[in-house]
C-alpha cells in the first residue's frame, strides 16, 4: 500500500511537470487540458470616488481600431439613441472624444467594428468550410444567468491569439464594475443589475444598415443595463432599439430576476428560463432552422458546439442544487461550455461572474481551467 502511494505521488509529480510545459496554443487533452495561465486573474483599476473625468481619461488611454464607412454612419445614427438609453455614459464618451480630439461617433464606431467584421464573415460564407471559419472568429460565446440568486456568468471565446493582445483589466467606479473593450463599456454590473454578452450575428437576424434609425451601439446597451434598477427596467429601455448586428445580453438583478435580451433588427425581446437560462451564439429560430437540415452532432461540429454549450448550461441549471458563485464558476469550467485548444483555435480566453446581490465581480484573465478569479466588490 505504501509503495503504491509513493508510486502515485511520483506519477502525479511527473504529470504536474509535464503540464507546466504546455503553452497557450498547444493542442491539449479534450477533457483534462492543462497548461500554464497566460494571465492569472485580472488587473483592477479602481476609480472609485474619482468621478467622470477619471473614467473618461482611463477609457481614452485604451487602444482601438479604425472603423469602415458604413459603421461610421451607423454610429452617427446611434449617438442620440445611445443618449436616450444611457445619458450619463454618453457624457463620458463625449468627454473621451474631447480628450482624443475626435467626434464621439468615431469612438462608438470603433467599438462596433469588431462585431461588424465577424458578421461579414457569416454573410460571405458560401459553404460549410467558410461557415466553420466564420464561427472561429466569434466573440463572447457562452452566457448564463441564475434565477433568484442574481448571478450571471460568461466565457469569452475567441481565437487563441487574443490571450497575447493585452491583459484583462476590470474597471471599478462608484456605481459600475466592468471590462473595458476598445475603449468602451462591456461585460459589467451596476449596483443592481449585471449583463454579459454573446454574439449571434447574421444567422439570427440581419445586420443594421446606414438607414436603420433605431440603432444603438453595444457599449450603450451595456451602460443602459448596468445603470438600471432591475432587469425589467433595462429591457424597457432597450425594447424599441436594435444593435448593429444581432447580439444577446444575458442579465440578472439583485431581486432575483433574470433573462436574455436578444437584440436584432427583427425586434428586441427578453427570454427567461426555469431557474435560469443559458445562451450561446444563436436564437431559437436559428437553432430550429439549422437543425431542420443538419444532425445535431454535425451541427455542433460546424457551429463550435453552440447548441451543445447552451444545452449543457440549461441542463446544469435544471439539476444544480445550488446556484451560487461557485456553481457558476464550476459550469464555466466544464466541457463543452469551456474550450481549451483541441481541434480549433476557438477557445475560452477569459471568464467573468457577476453577483448582483453581494455586489461582487469575479474575473479570470484566461480560461478558468488555468486561471484563478480576481474578486472585485463595491465598497
What pLDDT, on the 0 to 100 scale, is given for residue 10?
Answer: 36
**Can you tell me which residue has the cell 458578421?**
119
Burial class of residue 51 in the structure, from the number of CB atoms within 10 Å of its CB (0-12 exposed, 13-18 middle, 19+ buried): exposed
Exposed e or buried b per residue across 282-304, where buried means at least 16 C-beta atoms within 10 angstroms of its C-beta: bbeebbeebeeeeeeeebbbbbb
* 221 neighbors 198 (Cβ within 8 angstroms): no
CA 335: distance to chain centroid? 18
40 to 51, 143, 165: CA distances (angstroms): 29, 21, 15
> What are the 10-residue block averages of pLDDT along the chain, 379 residues in total?
36 41 92 93 97 96 93 98 98 98 98 92 74 67 96 94 90 97 95 97 93 98 98 98 98 98 97 97 95 94 92 97 97 92 90 98 96 97
pLDDT tens profile 240-272: 999 999 999 999 999 999 999 999 999 999 999
- Read off the DSSP letter of residue 206: P
What pLDDT, on the 0 to 100 scale, is given for residue 115?
Answer: 92
Question: Using omega within 30 degrees of 0 as the cis cutoff, is the peptide bond preceding 336 cis?
Answer: yes
**Secondary structure (3-state) at 3:** helix
Exposed e or buried b per residue across 255-273, where buried means at least 16 C-beta atoms within 10 angstroms of its C-beta: bebbbbbbbbbeebebeeb
* 149 neighbors 357 (Cβ within 8 angstroms): yes
What pLDDT, on the 0 to 100 scale, is given for residue 137?
Answer: 65
What pLDDT, on the 0 to 100 scale, is given for residue 8?
Answer: 35
* 98 neighbors 228 (Cβ within 8 angstroms): no
Spatial distance between the Cα atoms of 164 and 70, rounded to a whole number of angstroms: 29
pTM above 0.75, yes or no: yes
Q: Dihedrals φ, ψ of 360, to 5°?
A: -130, 145
Amino acid at each position: 500500500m505504501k509503495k503504491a502511494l509513493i508510486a502515485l505521488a511520483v506519477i502525479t509529480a511527473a504529470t504536474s511537470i509535464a503540464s507546466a510545459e504546455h503553452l497557450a496554443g498547444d493542442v491539449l487533452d479534450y477533457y483534462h487540458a492543462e497548461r500554464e495561465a497566460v494571465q492569472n486573474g485580472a488587473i483592477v483599476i479602481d476609480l472609485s470616488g474619482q468621478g467622470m473625468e477619471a473614467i473618461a481619461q482611463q477609457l481614452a488611454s485604451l487602444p482601438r481600431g479604425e472603423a469602415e464607412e458604413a459603421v461610421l454612419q451607423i454610429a452617427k445614427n446611434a449617438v442620440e439613441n445611445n443618449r436616450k438609453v444611457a445619458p450619463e455614459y454618453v457624457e463620458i464618451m463625449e468627454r473621451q472624444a474631447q480628450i482624443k480630439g475626435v467626434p464621439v461617433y468615431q469612438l462608438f464606431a470603433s467599438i462596433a467594428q469588431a462585431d461588424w467584421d465577424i458578421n461579414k464573415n457569416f454573410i460571405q460564407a458560401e459553404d460549410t468550410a467558410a461557415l466553420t471559419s466564420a464561427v472561429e472568429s466569434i466573440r463572447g460565446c457562452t452566457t448564463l444567468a441564475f434565477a433568484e440568486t442574481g448571478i450571471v456568468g460568461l466565457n469569452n471565446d475567441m481565437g487563441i491569439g487574443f490571450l497575447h493582445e493585452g491583459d484583462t483589466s476590470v474597471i471599478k467606479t462608484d456605481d459600475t464594475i466592468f471590462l473595458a473593450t476598445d475603449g468602451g463599456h462591456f461585460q459589467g454590473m451596476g449596483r443592481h443589475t449585471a449583463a454579459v454578452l454573446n454574439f449571434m450575428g447574421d444567422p439570427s437576424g440581419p445586420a443594421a444598415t446606414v438607414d436603420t434609425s433605431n440603432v444603438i451601439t453595444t457599449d450603450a446597451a451595456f451602460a443602459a443595463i448596468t445603470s438600471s434598477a432591475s432587469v425589467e427596467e433595462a429591457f424597457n429601455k432597450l425594447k424599441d432599439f436594435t444593435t448593429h448586428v444581432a447580439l444577446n445580453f444575458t442579465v440578472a438583478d439583485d431581486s432575483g430576476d433574470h433573462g436574455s435580451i436578444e437584440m436584432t433588427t427583427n425586434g428586441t425581446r427578453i427570454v427567461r428560463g426555469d431557474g435560469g437560462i443559458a445562451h450561446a451564439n444563436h436564437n431559437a429560430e436559428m437553432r430550429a432552422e439549422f437543425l431542420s437540415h443538419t444532425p445535431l452532432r454535425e451541427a455542433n461540429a460546424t457551429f463550435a458546439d453552440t447548441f451543445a454549450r447552451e444545452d449543457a448550461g440549461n441542463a446544469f441549471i435544471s439539476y444544480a442544487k445550488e446556484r451560487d458563485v461557485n456553481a457558476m464558476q464550476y459550469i464555466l469550467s466544464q466541457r463543452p461550455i469551456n474550450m481549451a485548444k483541441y481541434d480549433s483555435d476557438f477557445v475560452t480566453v477569459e471568464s467573468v461572474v457577476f453577483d448582483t446581490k453581494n455586489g461582487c465581480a469575479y474575473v479570470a484573465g484566461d480560461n478558468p481551467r488555468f486561471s484563478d478569479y480576481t474578486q472585485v466588490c463595491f465598497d
